[in-house]
Structure 1
Amino acid sequence: MTDNTPHPEDLSTGASPLKINPLLLKKRNARETRFRLYGLTAVLTAVLVLCLLLTSIISKGYTAFEQTYILIDVRLNTQTIDPKGTNRLEDLAAASYKGLLRDALREQFPGIDGRREKRQLYGILGTAADYDVRDAVLDNPKLVGTTATIAVKASDDVDSYFKGYISRDVPEDNRKIKDVELSWLDTFETDDRIIKKFNMDFFTNGDSREPEEAGILGAVIGSLYTLAITLALCFPIGVLTAIYLEEFAPTNRWTDIIEVNINNLAAVPSIVFGLLGLAIFLNFFGLPRSAPLVGGMVLALMTLPTIIIASRAALKAVPPSIREAALGIGASRMQTVFHHVLPLAMPGILTGTILGMAQALGETAPLLMIGMVAFIADIPGSMGDAATVLPVQIFLWADSPERGFVEKTSAAIMVLLAFLVVMNAIAVILRKRFERRW
Structure 2
Amino acid sequence: MAQTDTAVRSMDAVAARLKSRYAAERRFRALGLGAILLSVAFLAILLGSIVQKGWTGFIQTQVAVAVTFDPQVIDPDGSRDPLALDTADYATLVRNGMAARLAPDADRNARRDLTGMVSTMATEQLRRMVVANPDIIGTTATVWVLASDKIDMVVKGQVPRQLGAAGNALNDRQLGWVAQLEQSGQVRTTFNTTFFTAGDSRAPEQAGIWGAVVGSFFSLAITLLVSFPLGVATAVYLEEFAPHNRWTDLIEVNINNLAAVPSVVFGLLGLAVFLNVFHLPRSSPLAGGLVLALICLPTIIIAGRAALKAVPPSIRQAAAGLGASPLQIVAHHVLPLAMPGMLTGTILGMARALGETAPLLMIGMVAFIVDIPKSPVDPSAVLPVQIYLWAGSPERAFVEKTSAAIMVLLLFLVSMNMVAIVLRKKFERRW
* TM-score strictly above 0.5: yes
Structure 1 residue 42 displacement after superposition: 1.5
Aligned to 1:271: 264
User: Residues of 2 paired with 1:43 and 1:70: CA distance?
Assistant: 48
Which residue of 2 is the match for residue 53 of structure 1?
A: 46
Counterpart selection for 1:408 from 393, 401, 404: 401
Corresponding residue for 2:4? none
1:218 counterpart letter in structure 2? G
CA gap of 1:196–1:140, structure 2 versus 1, over 3 A, is farther
Instruction: Write the letter of the residue equivalent to 1:101.
Output: V
> 1:402-431 deviations in whole A, cap 9, x for unaligned?
000000000000000000000000000000
- Asked whether the 8 Å contact 2:54–2:402 carries over to 1, the reply is yes
For 1:198, give the aligned amino acid.
F
Q: Among residues 98, 101, 107, which one is paired with 2:94 in the alignment?
A: 101
Q: Residue 433 of structure 1 corresponds to which residue in structure 2?
A: 426
Describe how 1:5-404 pairs up with structure 2 within 5 A: 21-78=14-71, 80-81=73-74, 95-137=88-130, 143-171=136-164, 175-404=168-397
Which shows bigger deviation, 78-87 or 193-202? 78-87
**Residues 172 and 179 of structure 1 are in contact (CA less than 8 Å); yes or no, is this contact kept in structure 2?**
no
Q: How far apart are residue 43 of structure 1 and its match?
A: 1.4
Contact 2:159 2:168 in 1 (8 A): yes
Output the CA distance in 2 between the equivalents of 1:115 and 1:109. 14
| TM-score after normalising by structure 1 | 0.91
Q: Contact 1:271–1:366 at 8 Å: present in 2 too?
A: yes
For the residue of structure 2 that corresponds to 1:381, the secondary structure is: coil
Instruction: Flag structure 2 segments of 5+ consecutive residues without an equivalent.
Output: 1-9
Give distance in 1, aligned partners of 2:103 and 2:56: 33
Give the secondary-structure state (helix, strand or coil) at the position aligned to 1:71: strand
CA distance in 2, matches of 1:257, 1:180: 73
- SS where residue 61 of structure 2 aligns? strand
Q: Which 5+ residue runs of structure 1 have no aligned equivalent?
A: 1-16
- The Cα of 1:92 is off from its aligned counterpart by 5.5
- Amino acid aligned to 2:326: R
TM-score, normalised relative to structure 2 = 0.93
| Alpha-carbon distance, 1:84 to partner | 7.4
Structure-1 separation of matches of 2:134 and 2:317: 75
Aligned AA (1:108): R
| 8 Å Cα contact 1:216-1:412 kept in structure 2 | yes
User: Structure 2 vs 1, CA of residues 357 and 108 (structure 1 numbering), >3 Å: closer, same or farther?
Assistant: same
The verdict on how the C-alpha distance between 1:374 and 1:198 changes in structure 2, with shifts beyond 3 A counting, is same
Q: Give distance in 2, aligned partners of 1:65 and 1:257.
A: 51
Supply the distance in 2 between the matched residues of 1:175 and 1:253 (Cα, whole angstroms).
67
Please give the secondary structure, in 2, of the residue aligned with 1:215. coil
Taking structure 1 as reference, are residues 421 and 133 closer, same or farther at Cα in structure 2, changes over 3 Å only?
A: same
How far apart are 1:302 and its partner, in Å? 1.1
Change (3 A) 1:325 1:432: same
The question of whether the paired residues in 2 share the 8 Å contact of 1:132 and 1:153 is answered with no
Q: CA deviation at 1:143?
A: 3.8
Give deviations 1:314-368, integer Å, cap 9, x for gaps.
0000000000000000111000001000000000000000000000000000000
SS of residue paired to 1:152: strand
The amino acid across from 2:424 in the alignment is: R
Distance 1:352 1:89, change over 3 A: farther
Residues 111-131 of structure 1: per-residue CA shift (max 9 Å, x gap): 545332221111011121122
Q: CA deviation at 1:87?
A: 7.3
- Residue 32 of structure 1 deviates from its aligned partner by 1.8
SS in 1 for 2:276: helix
CA distance in 2, matches of 1:266, 1:311: 14
Cα distance between partner residues in 2 of 1:174 and 1:226: 36
Maintained 8 Å contact 1:291/1:372: yes
Distance 1:140 1:49, change over 3 A: farther
State the partner residue of 1:14: none
Shift of 1:172: 7.2
Shift of residue 94, structure 1, vs aligned partner: 5.4
Distance 1:401 1:173 in 2: 13
